[in-house]
Amino acid sequence: MKQKHFIGILLLAGCILLALSTLGWSDEDERWEHEEEGYGFWQQSSDIPPVTNNTYETECSACHFAYPAGLLPERSWVRIMQTLDQHFGDNAELDAKTSNEILDYLRGHAADHLPNRFSRSLLRSLEADETPLRISETPFFRHKHREIPSRMVARNPEVRSFSNCVACHSMAKKGVFNEHGVRIPGFGAWED
């Protein structure tokens, strides 16, 4: 009996080592993730904390999915919320009270305050004085999506734009963006 136990523990340890090393390898090509080895082990179920504020979720998901706050730095959310009257060709202005509540939430949960690897990599991909208004314009995002041809995005009537995260990331609302959850409409699962 004791021997069986020992073998069981050895096997378990082997599996854990294997899982850890696979996680390490999968990040090898990421320019901004070198310091992150070992990170990510605790957050396999969610790549980035999902949205937890109802006001933000309701007000900001009328035209697109409510993007997780951790995908932009605080300074970007401030600028986005200050320019809602001219929001990518739309007027998305809100009353001051609603707008302040949303801004507080977004600032508190922005990439600057989250220790997860996507937020940290995204921040590191930006110059200190850069204030992107789009997640999809950050070097981190572009790097992650560099292999996807435009026939699957801009020329795909069911996607149209990289801003349309939920079209491809089936678990985006849960904060899961890893490639296993990707289904590109008209093309199916993503095979690297």
Q: What is residue 63's three-state secondary structure?
A: coil
Q: 3-class SS at 169?
A: strand
Out of 36, 164, 171, 175, the only residue in the binding site for ligand HEC (CB under 6 A) is 164
Please report whether residue 71 would count as binding ligand HEC according to CB under 6 A.
yes
Q: From 2-10, 11-19, 107-115, 163-171, give the range in contact with ligand HEC by CB under 6 A.
A: 163-171
Q: Which of 51, 102, 114, 123 lies at the binding interface for ligand HEC (CB under 6 A)?
A: 102
Two structure tokens written together for 143: 């790097």
Longest dimension (CA), the chain: 71
Rule CB under 6 A: say whether 15 interacts with ligand HEC: no
3-state SS, residue 184: strand
Q: What does the alpha-carbon distance between residue 182 and residue 1 come to, in Å, rounded to a whole number? A: 45
Window contacting ligand HEC (CB under 6 A); options: 6-14, 107-115, 123-131, 142-150: 142-150
| CB contact set of 166 (below 8 Å; sequence gap of 6+) | 65, 172, 173
**Options 32, 165, 171, 175; binder of ligand HEC; rule CB under 6 A:** 165
Q: How long is the chain?
A: 192
When binding is defined by CB under 6 A, the residue of 57, 59, 101, 104 that contacts ligand HEC is 59
| Site size with ligand HEC, rule: CB under 6 A | 41
* Stretch of residues binding ligand HEC (CB under 6 A), selected from 1-9, 11-19, 107-115, 172-180: 172-180
User: Is-contact 12 20, C-beta < 8 A?
Assistant: no
